[in-house]
């Protein structure tokens, strides 16, 4: 048996050190194997398709971030699979997420996988468009790799999907796959900020009338705020239960260097949009996102300027500021697959988990996560490239021990 604390340590190590695959390891045909992996440890590629995620003890999910020099090795055993530390011989039993039941389906002559992703083990990820006008303007977020990866690697060349295709794909996936509990819809900026929000409103309006859509316990919209802030309430009216307006970096001067397109919209305007969203969605249902690993970079964004102690100080400052607004400050781990202008950042293997432990205690202490939610967002099996849900679960467990 592994405790939650032990599993947290393993996941943190897998995300910061990465993981390699033992020679001649084969995988069962019942799981998805991919050549292209977002949230990579580096631009290094494995020579054959491998799974995205590992299911760890305590029903926690972790991303496989391939790294050929990692001390952690994924390998098969007589009874299944494990991750082993090559120096200590410590091992953790792991399993994989079975393929979703909607695999290989075609919707309106498009593979359903061009719209729907099975994220973790219970989350339906929807990407209505792979386009973002920041790239066209040369003002993309400097860490972003979504559009470059899409243009370089992806199999499906249609960047924009019609409302009919999106509606039918979501309904098909929810009908076919009983494990789905949550829906997250994420896109770049399409034509304008208001047009992007209008697009989400239309998606929600179409889905609301279908009984199967009520199966979704949480429905998240991730996008930039509109110019017309009155449109935010429409997203809530049309079935979205949670909303994400990502800031990405906390210090305003650094925001300009990292997110030039978002800086044109305005740092203070995003804060105002978050305040407006709290009024519409309620406390505990509004999120922003920060990228852990780039808060401490200099304004030239040199990867060598990463300072793990400064990273934690700045990140904790962001956490406290957002919680004071009743906004949940989510953090994803910085990743580099060879397609952004920052390059590789080796996250500190001790201070990274230390930050997420403190994050969990601060968010738990703020008391804004709705009662009854098992984590901050979705479930422990939903988000494989972050430790914020796991840090929150540790804080809840600690609270139970003391009470």
pLDDT tens digits along 264-323: 999 999 999 999 999 999 999 999 999 999 999 999 999 999 999 999 999 999 999 999
Summarize pLDDT for 3-36 with one digit per residue, the tens.
999 999 999 999 999 999 999 999 999 999 987 6
Q: Are 223 and 271 in contact (CB under 8 A)?
A: no
pLDDT value at 190 more than 90: no
Secondary structure (3-state) at 31: strand
Residues 73-93: what's their mean pLDDT?
A: 96
Mean pLDDT estimate for the chain: 93
**Which pLDDT value is given to residue 152?**
53
Q: In whole angstroms, give the CA distance from residue 305 to residue 311.
A: 10
State what percent of residues in the chain have pLDDT above 90: 79
Residues 180-202: what's their mean pLDDT?
A: 93
Token pair for residue 255? Answer: 């925001």
**Which pLDDT value is given to residue 81?**
98
Q: Domains in the chain, ordered, with CATH?
A: 4-96 (no CATH), 106-400 (3.20.20.70)
362's CB contacts (< 8 A; 6+ apart) are 316, 319, 320, 323
**Which pLDDT value is given to residue 41?**
78
**Which pLDDT value is given to residue 157?**
46
State what percent of residues in the chain have pLDDT above 70: 95
pLDDT value at 332 more than 50: yes
316's CB contacts (< 8 A; 6+ apart) are 355, 358, 359, 362
- The residue behind tokens 């069962």 is 28
Summarize pLDDT for 220-273 with one digit per residue, the tens.
999 999 999 999 999 999 999 999 999 999 999 999 999 999 999 999 999 999
């Amino acid at each position: 048996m592994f405790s939650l604390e032990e599993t947290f340590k393993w996941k943190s190590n897998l995300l910061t050190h990465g993981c390699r695959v033992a020679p001649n390891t084969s995988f069962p045909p019942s799981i998805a194997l991919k050549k292209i992996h977002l949230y990579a440890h580096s631009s290094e590629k494995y020579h054959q398709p491998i799974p995205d995620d590992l299911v760890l003890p305590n029903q926690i999910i972790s991303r496989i971030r391939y790294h050929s020099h990692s001390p952690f090795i994924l390998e098969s055993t007589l009874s299944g699979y494990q991750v082993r530390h090559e120096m200590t011989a410590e091992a953790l039993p792991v399993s994989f997420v079975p393929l979703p039941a909607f695999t290989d389906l075609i919707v309106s002559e498009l593979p359903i996988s061009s719209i729907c992703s099975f994220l973790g083990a219970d989350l339906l990820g929807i990407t209505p468009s792979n386009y973002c006008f920041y790239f066209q303007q040369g003002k993309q977020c400097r860490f972003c790799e979504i559009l470059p990866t899409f243009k370089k690697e992806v199999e499906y060349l249609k960047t924009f999907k019609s409302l009919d295709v999106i509606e039918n794909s979501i309904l098909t996936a929810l009908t076919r796959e009983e494990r789905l509990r949550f829906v997250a819809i994420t896109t770049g900026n399409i034509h304008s900020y208001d047009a992007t929000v209008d697009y989400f409103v239309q998606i929600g309006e179409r889905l609301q009338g279908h009984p199967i859509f009520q199966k979704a316990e949480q429905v998240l919209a991730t996008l930039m705020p509109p110019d017309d802030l009155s449109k935010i309430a429409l997203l809530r009216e049309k079935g979205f239960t949670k909303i994400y307006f990502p800031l990405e970096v906390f210090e305003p001067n650094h925001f300009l260097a990292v997110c030039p397109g978002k800086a044109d919209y305005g740092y203070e305007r995003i804060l105002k949009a978050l305040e407006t969203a709290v009024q519409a969605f309620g406390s505990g249902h509004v999120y922003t996102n920060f990228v852990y690993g780039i808060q401490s970079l200099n304004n030239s964004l040199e990867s060598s300027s990463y300072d793990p102690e400064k990273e934690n100080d700045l990140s904790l400052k962001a956490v406290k500021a957002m919680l004071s607004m009743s906004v949940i400050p989510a953090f994803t781990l910085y990743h580099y697959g060879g397609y952004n202008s920052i390059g590789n950042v080796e996250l500190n293997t001790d201070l990274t988990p230390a930050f997420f432990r403190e994050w969990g205690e601060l968010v738990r202490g703020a008391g804004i996560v709705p009662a009854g939610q098992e984590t901050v967002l979705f479930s422990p099996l939903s988000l494989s490239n972050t430790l914020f849900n796991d840090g929150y679960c540790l804080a809840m467990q600690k609270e139970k021990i003391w009470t």
